[in-house]
Structure 1
Amino acid sequence: MSDVTELTRELVSIPSHEDETEAGDFIEDWLRAETDADVTRDETGNVVARRGPDDAASLALVGHHDVVPPADSQTTADGGYVVEERDGRLYGRGTADMKGAVAAAMLAFRDATLPDSGPELVFASFVGEEQGGVGARAAIDRGFAPDYAVVGEGSTGYSAPGVTDVAVAHKGRRGSTVTARGAAAHASEPESGENAVYRACDAVDAIRDLDFPSVEVLGEEVRGSVAVTGIDGGSAWNVIPEECEVTVDERTVPGERAPLERVEEIEGVEWAVDQDLPPMRCDDEDFAETVLDAAREAQAEAESAPKLVSKPHATDAGWLAEAGTTCVVCGVAEPGEAHTKDESASVEVLERCYEVYRGVAERF
């Protein structure tokens, strides 16, 4: 069994959907035992390690060690997580999202041979990514600001099955609520009230007519979307509703937002943003090509070569990019693997990501 497979097994076996402390302890202890790096653990629970000259440009290998709640089949009787290997894959909560990439980054951080001129190599594993980037935002607030970062979220299987690509952009997510207010009345006399559902429907029509923003990032088109995902209004079948709420899911693109504020031009309608996870755009083509070269070398025998791609899901790379770090995303997970009851990761891809991360550090 390879080092990255064994380390992934150990990490995945540690529960971290409600409390990431034990997983953070394991990562911190391993880094202190296996490297001579400067290892810190902040009060939020983030683990950060640094090696190399601190006056050089910094390159971070970034992941997170929290996971979404497991299915019953993914837990043991004593509360641990089940980890199984079969048919060349590791199965278990967090194998794909994203303890496999964290393990690969830990080993690459330890093993990379750095020239005296740098870079300063940084390893970071954050808490609370699944809760909207809690750990990443806390670290940034405390001054975490690498010049460049490879974020180990999934990028495998985008250009072709089994190929580990390099994502140079991803969408963000803005979740919002449109609230329509009217005046209640008996339904037998609807003209004596103001129907909030009708006003909400006018807002839905306005949303449906919006154009979706689109941008190009290093030759990749990234197209946003807006969708109404819920509507709730009315209190009884014989009462004209005085309030109606509409939930809206918007997938944002770098530098653009759909003009959802237009719904407030409708009488009695208000719009409020509930969550805004930022998109990511790589702003340095040379860095993207450096990571792509490492990805090509790590899978030189594959039928298809990796490509620069875009990714539909928000990640901590969005928060880092917003704070000024040049980012790409490159990692283990394949589309459809994360957050499932059969979550798994290819052993071959785990080992490949170790080679990619190490290769980036050594050729940076």
Structure 2
Amino acid sequence: MTVRELTRELVSIPSHDDETAAGDVIEAWLRRETDAAVTRDMAGNVIARKGTGDRTLALVGHHDVVEPAASQVETASETPTGDFEYVVEQRDGRLYGRGAADMKGAVAAAMLAFRDSDPSPAGELVFASFVGEEVGGVGAQHAIEHGFSPDYAIVGEGSTGYSSPGVTDVAVAHKGRRGSTITARGTAAHASEVDAGENAIYRAADAVDLVRTLETPAIDVAGETLSGSLAVTEIEGGSAMNVIPDRCTLTVDERTVPGERAALERVETLEGVTWTVEQDLPPMRCTDEAFAEAVRKAADAAQSGTPALVTKPHATDAGWLAQAGCECVIYGPSEPGEAHTDTESVSLAVLERCRETYRRVAASWL
């Protein structure tokens, strides 16, 4: 089976609200095509292992996708089984379909590389495809909580076209995302008696002013400056035009970098203001230069362009793995602007490049 055939099969399987069917196919393929120890955990993650050495390298992906556009779905009446499927089309050297870029193509490339690799007695090779990456990394967190702890990992999220068009680079760091809510509380009163109440919107405005003064950390990595950011993105408060509001909420989107965070907790020094973290996706940075360079050399040997060490702006499951102590890099076929689009696609040549790079790293690093 070629990477094109396997990608096409995986992309056709709906997995935006239930990853079970895609996980079934991945698990069955691994059991049929390899002699690895294959497991399926309670979350639905599919994990396969071979080799018994002390050094562990994992090829990591996810088989959930975001909701497809109507144009990316075939209706039940159009499919042989009577069940709906995702539309998959091939043209101009690319496969089009929901999940082709993010990231079933990389999963297929990793499956084939895993099958074709024979780790030395010094190492263990692991394949893992997680569920729930698109909703905060719930699959990765479950796996880590239940003992998934490779020493090194290549996460197949997109790294193509960062240094120059068509080149698949090696991302050694990415930002995280912390989403939080600031709640300002006051005392309601009739608007004709302003001094009888405490205006929660005014207190929220004070919080906004404070947020705008906060410094966001930045780090230098791979010759780039990776900078954090803060933005107040939503506001809700008040009940009527003639009532002093007793409650106002703000949401804040924060992009984090490895190391320090913006001091958002300072808003709680304001009277009547509390701060609650709703989501905290960790950033990632590879600190093992030898591993990053080994992946870059393998990538260089697998393509005509010259790959670079780069950074990514988006959070991935690599953040959870790095937080647990795994040295991670990102290497995958998706290009900037492809994921989550109505015309999502992936280059077949780059999929083959990724398969070969994963195989080369497994052979050299283990």
Query: Structures share a fold, TM > 0.5?
Result: yes
Q: Is the 8 A contact 2:282 2:319 kept in 1?
A: yes
Q: Aligned partner of 1:227: which letter?
A: A
TM superposition shift of 1:223 = 0.8
Aligned: 1:55 with 2:53 = yes
Q: Aligned partner of 2:314: which letter?
A: H
Q: Aligned partner of 1:315: which letter?
A: T
Measure, in 2, the Cα distance between the counterparts of 1:67 and 1:77. Answer: 18
**How big is each residue's C-alpha offset from its partner over 1:15-55, in whole Å with a ceiling of 9 and x where there is no partner?**
11111111011001101111111111111111111112x13
Matched residue of 2:85: which SS?
Answer: coil
1:111 pairs with 102, 112, 116, which one? 116
Q: Is the 8 A contact 1:129 1:136 kept in 2?
A: yes
Matched residue of 1:319: which SS?
Answer: helix
Q: Is the 8 A contact 1:217 1:282 kept in 2?
A: no
Matched residue of 1:156: which SS?
Answer: coil
Which residue matches 1:120? 124
TM superposition shift of 1:117 = 3.1
Which residue matches 2:253? 249
Which residue matches 1:29? 28
Measure, in 2, the Cα distance between the counterparts of 1:19 and 1:30. Answer: 19
Q: Aligned partner of 1:3: which letter?
A: T
Which residue matches 1:150? 154
TM-score using structure 1 length: 0.96
Measure, in 2, the Cα distance between the counterparts of 1:225 and 1:350. Answer: 33
TM superposition shift of 1:363 = 1.1
Which residue matches 1:76? 74
Q: Aligned partner of 2:27: which letter?
A: E
Aligned: 1:205 with 2:225 = no
Q: Aligned partner of 1:73: which letter?
A: S
Matched residue of 2:206: which SS?
Answer: helix
Which residue matches 2:63? 65
2:289 pairs with 267, 285, 289, which one? 285
Measure, in 2, the Cα distance between the counterparts of 1:86 and 1:190. Answer: 66
Measure, in 2, the Cα distance between the counterparts of 1:49 and 1:33. Answer: 12
Which residue matches 1:141? 145
Which residue matches 1:269? 273
Q: Aligned partner of 1:17: which letter?
A: H
Q: Is the 8 A contact 2:53 2:121 kept in 1?
A: no
Q: Aligned partner of 2:259: which letter?
A: G
Q: Aligned partner of 1:94: which letter?
A: G
Q: Is the 8 A contact 2:60 2:128 kept in 1?
A: yes
2:220 pairs with 216, 223, 239, which one? 216
Measure, in 1, the Cα distance between the counterparts of 2:38 and 2:268. Answer: 50
**How big is each residue's C-alpha offset from its partner over 1:54-84, in whole Å with a ceiling of 9 and x where there is no partner?**
1330000000001111111110112210000
TM superposition shift of 1:218 = 4.5
Q: Is the 8 A contact 2:222 2:311 kept in 1?
A: no
Which residue matches 1:14? 13
Measure, in 1, the Cα distance between the counterparts of 2:9 and 2:92. Answer: 19
Q: Is the 8 A contact 1:180 1:243 kept in 2?
A: yes
Matched residue of 1:70: which SS?
Answer: coil
Q: Is the 8 A contact 2:39 2:48 kept in 1?
A: yes
Which residue matches 1:360? 361
- Which residues of 2 match residues 320-331 of structure 1 at below 5 A? 320-331=321-332
TM-score using structure 2 length: 0.96
Which residue matches 2:97? 92
Q: Is the 8 A contact 1:119 1:361 kept in 2?
A: no
Measure, in 1, the Cα distance between the counterparts of 2:104 and 2:152. Answer: 21
Measure, in 1, the Cα distance between the counterparts of 2:42 and 2:49. Answer: 18
Q: Aligned partner of 1:35: which letter?
A: T
Aligned: 1:44 with 2:48 = no
Q: Is the 8 A contact 1:277 1:318 kept in 2?
A: yes
Matched residue of 1:207: which SS?
Answer: helix
TM superposition shift of 1:112 = 2.1
In structure 2, runs of 5+ residues without a counterpart are: 77-83
Matched residue of 1:179: which SS?
Answer: strand
Could you tell which deviates more after superposition, 274-283 or 217-226?
Answer: 217-226
Q: Aligned partner of 2:243: which letter?
A: V
Matched residue of 2:87: which SS?
Answer: coil
Measure, in 2, the Cα distance between the counterparts of 1:118 and 1:63. Answer: 24
Measure, in 1, the Cα distance between the counterparts of 2:146 and 2:269. Answer: 40
Measure, in 2, the Cα distance between the counterparts of 1:213 and 1:46. Answer: 34
Q: What is the number of equivalent residue pairs in this alignment? A: 358
TM superposition shift of 1:220 = 3.6
Could you tell which deviates more after superposition, 336-345 or 209-218?
Answer: 209-218
Q: Is the 8 A contact 1:220 1:308 kept in 2?
A: no
Measure, in 2, the Cα distance between the counterparts of 1:346 and 1:208. Answer: 42
Could you tell which deviates more after superposition, 188-197 or 30-39?
Answer: 188-197
Measure, in 1, the Cα distance between the counterparts of 2:28 and 2:273. Answer: 53
Q: Is the 8 A contact 1:56 1:118 kept in 2?
A: yes
TM superposition shift of 1:119 = 2.2
Measure, in 2, the Cα distance between the counterparts of 1:89 and 1:257. Answer: 40
Q: Aligned partner of 2:291: which letter?
A: F
